[in-house]
A and B are shown apart, each in its own frame.
Chain A
Amino acid sequence: MILLQVVVSGLLMGAVYALFSSGLTLIWGMMNVVNFAHGDFVMLAMYVAFFAFTLFHLGPLEFIPLAALLLFGLGVAVYFGLVRHMARGPMLAQILGTFGLALVLRYAAFWAFSANFVSLPDNLVGGTFAAAGLRIEASRLLGGVLALLITIGMHLVLTRTMLGSRVLAVAEDRNAAMLMGIRPDRMQALAWGVGAASTGVAGALIAMFFYISPTVGESLALIAFVVVCLGGFGSVPGALVAGLSIGVIEALSAYLIGAVYQDVVVYALFLLVLWVRPQGLMGTT
């Protein structure tokens, strides 16, 4: 019974992982640029949710879209201000660029909000569900379900709409897409915007049941990398499956070995995947 509880909470968290990792895989797949600041985007979204609630008394129905919108703007700004120039540069520049962004975001948060944890009140989304012997916090349930729906929605939009197919076209072959009248710049900026927006939603969701501090970005970023590598970069369905899996693995590790080592398991798994099958579990060579 406890095991089921662990698995379920792992799945719910995993869905959130899947959500912001989908954003990363979209960005990554588009232009082969790794966003090392992705975790810090999530962190910023968490603070947006926190301040929206404490300063303006907005509820989740309001601060989730708000965070999504603000982060969307940030993503687009980062694309035009930094990434567009970076992508054509040497490898060192590409890696350093988003790293620099991560540092600025993280330590600006440090400086502005101090290193202390803050959190939203527990009863924001009322209570705990008890069903079939399981106890699940409503906020986690909401978070997981919403994350799942939005991730699936992202996939559908990408594969079933005109706009989505344009984005995918640029990801697949920039030049061919240009020849077909698609503007790669716009599509890439859109990808960055959507990718960042996914962190906006994820961060706002996590904020409802997690501690908020400037340093959460670091481990979240690594989880996103693991999920993207596992799921195959550029693949949202891959990110979904991988995200859920990582959530469960993390929860099981915490339960079986201890919370301290849960990250170790995830990182070790990451290294294993990179070494054995760099294209991910669902990717093609």
Chain B
Amino acid sequence: MSETDLPRNDNANAMPAPAAPPTAVRPVAAAITLERIVTVVGFALLFAWPLLVQDVFWQRIGALVLLSAISASAWNLLGGYAGQVSVGHAVYFGAGAYASLVVYTDLGWPPIAGAPIGVLVSCLLGLVIGTPTFRLRGHYFSMATIAAAELLRILAGNWPLVGAAVGLMGPPTPRSIADLSFISPLPYHYLFLGVLIVLLLLTWQMQRSRMGYYLAAIRGGDRAARSLGVPVLRYKVYALLLSATFTSLAGSLYAVMVGFADPDSALGILISVKMVITAALGGAGTLFGPLVGAVILVPLEETTNAWFGGSGTGITFIIYGAIILLITRFQPGGIAVLWRQVIARPQRSAAAAESASHAA
């Protein structure tokens, strides 16, 4: 840094202005308004979607988008906000899915009644897997989550209670409304939308609270965070428990809608990877990132599958993989960052003028 003259002002202890224009963190007022408008319009669309499109295919996609958004947003709590990139979140999803189907198969309960059990199991799993694993850095943590998930998938494939390799099915015909077995995707759409809104509200509150700041600090650097009194392990566990809970709920909702689960569809690594990509595409660590990711990826996957039939699965994942490569290579922050850059560009001069006027 070159020597700078002390600015002549009342504040004798003010810092000399840095040589390069400071980059602002919050966008300017106009940009915030634009974001708010887009958010409102977006949610209006989400609400009205099944009524706007009369085609069952598209209505179903709407419900699937919301389901994917729930799991990705749940992953986001741990992987995005806390920065602990778990690639084994399928265990929580699977726990929720299987819990629902087990209570139906063995106890005759409506599948949704299994959701609280799924949550409990997921939280326990999270504590058992997560606590020792949180000591590991970066890549090791991710690998450990993969290994744990694969381990459980193989075990489930041999466990009669969850139907071993064959899996479990839900009620073939609904016995009451509690079974939540609907022909039309509409009820599912609004059910999932409700859960998503609750999750997003919770996330938003968390983000603004001490927990949000502490998680951001943990993401910013364990060592520095600890020196400021942040109980790092405890907050990682909090994030994990919250994340596992909602991922498990997503699994239960999935089981209710699809009526089937087996080790590959409920515990497979692709489930985990999809969650990560969906959140990362939209922007990990942002509130609406996972939703944006879901809006893009789910229709993409469903239409690709519809067009290409059997071999469609292969193509879908080639596209997924290509998308990840593109994000990684060019914009790891995902669409959220791209958005900020796009709307921030015309505002940059305004922002510079603002800060300059503050420093004067």
Per the CB under 8 Å rule, do A and B touch in the complex? Answer: yes
Q: Which A residues contact B (CB, under 8 angstroms)?
A: 32, 34, 81-82, 85-86, 89-97, 99-108, 110-111, 114, 218, 222, 225-226, 229, 260-261, 263-264, 267-268, 270-271, 274-275, 278
Q: List 5 A-B contacts (CB under 8 A).
A: A99-B87, A103-B317, A107-B317, A229-B143, A271-B148
Query: What DSSP secondary structure best describes chain A's contact surface?
Result: helix
Q: Across chains A and B, which 9 residue pairs bring their CB atoms closest together, nearest first?
A: A100-B324, A103-B321, A93-B332, A104-B321, A111-B314, A110-B314, A97-B328, A107-B317, A100-B325
**B263–chain A nearest beta-carbon distance, Å:** 12
For window 221-276 of chain B, which residues contact chain A by CB distance below 8 Å?
269, 273, 276
Whole-angstrom distance between the alpha carbons of A105 and B277 in the complex?
Answer: 17
Q: B332, A90: Cβ atoms under 8 Å?
A: yes
- Answer yes or no: B327 CB below 8 A from chain A CBs: yes
For window 140-194 of chain B, which residues contact chain A by CB distance below 8 Å?
140, 142-144, 146-148, 150-151, 154-155, 157-158
Q: B83, A270: Cβ atoms under 8 Å?
A: no
- Answer yes or no: B120 CB below 8 A from chain A CBs: no
B residues in contact with A107, CB < 8 Å: 313-318, 321
Q: A91, B318: Cβ atoms under 8 Å?
A: no
> With A107-B317, A111-B318 in contact, is A92–B284 under 8 Å at CB?
yes
With an 8 Å Cβ cutoff, the count of chain B residues facing the other chain is: 47
Q: A108, B318: Cβ atoms under 8 Å?
A: yes
Given A90-B333, A260-B158, A264-B151, 6 more A-B residue pairs with CB atoms under 8 Å apart are A93-B327, A100-B322, A107-B315, A108-B314, A270-B143, A274-B140
Q: A104, B133: Cβ atoms under 8 Å?
A: no
Q: In the complex, what residue of chain A is closest to B131 when comparing beta carbons?
A: A275
> With A92-B79, A92-B85 in contact, is A100–B328 under 8 Å at CB?
yes
Whole-angstrom distance between the alpha carbons of A114 and B322 in the complex?
Answer: 19
Q: A271, B147: Cβ atoms under 8 Å?
A: yes
Whole-angstrom distance between the alpha carbons of A90 and B333 in the complex?
Answer: 9
Q: B140, A82: Cβ atoms under 8 Å?
A: no
**B54–chain A nearest beta-carbon distance, Å:** 34
- Answer yes or no: B98 CB below 8 A from chain A CBs: no
B residues in contact with A260, CB < 8 Å: 154, 157-158
**A277–chain B nearest beta-carbon distance, Å:** 12
Instruction: From the candidates A85, A92, A105, A267, name the one contacting B147 in the complex (CB within 8 A).
Output: A267
Instruction: From the candidates A34, A86, A102, name the one contacting B321 in the complex (CB within 8 A).
Output: A102
Q: In the complex, what residue of chain B is closest to A221 when comparing beta carbons?
A: B146
A residues in contact with B349, CB < 8 Å: none
A residues in contact with B139, CB < 8 Å: 32, 34, 94-95
Q: In the complex, what residue of chain B is closest to A115 when comparing beta carbons?
A: B314
> With A108-B318, A271-B151 in contact, is A101–B325 under 8 Å at CB?
yes
Q: B151, A268: Cβ atoms under 8 Å?
A: yes
Q: B132, A275: Cβ atoms under 8 Å?
A: yes
Q: In the complex, what residue of chain A is closest to B132 when comparing beta carbons?
A: A275
Q: B138, A111: Cβ atoms under 8 Å?
A: no
Whole-angstrom distance between the alpha carbons of A110 and B319 in the complex?
Answer: 13
A residues in contact with B150, CB < 8 Å: 222, 263, 267
Instruction: From the candidates A34, A111, A275, name the one contacting B143 in the complex (CB within 8 A).
Output: A34
Whole-angstrom distance between the alpha carbons of A271 and B136 in the complex?
Answer: 11
Whole-angstrom distance between the alpha carbons of A114 and B314 in the complex?
Answer: 9
- Answer yes or no: B329 CB below 8 A from chain A CBs: yes
**B84–chain A nearest beta-carbon distance, Å:** 9
Q: B315, A111: Cβ atoms under 8 Å?
A: yes
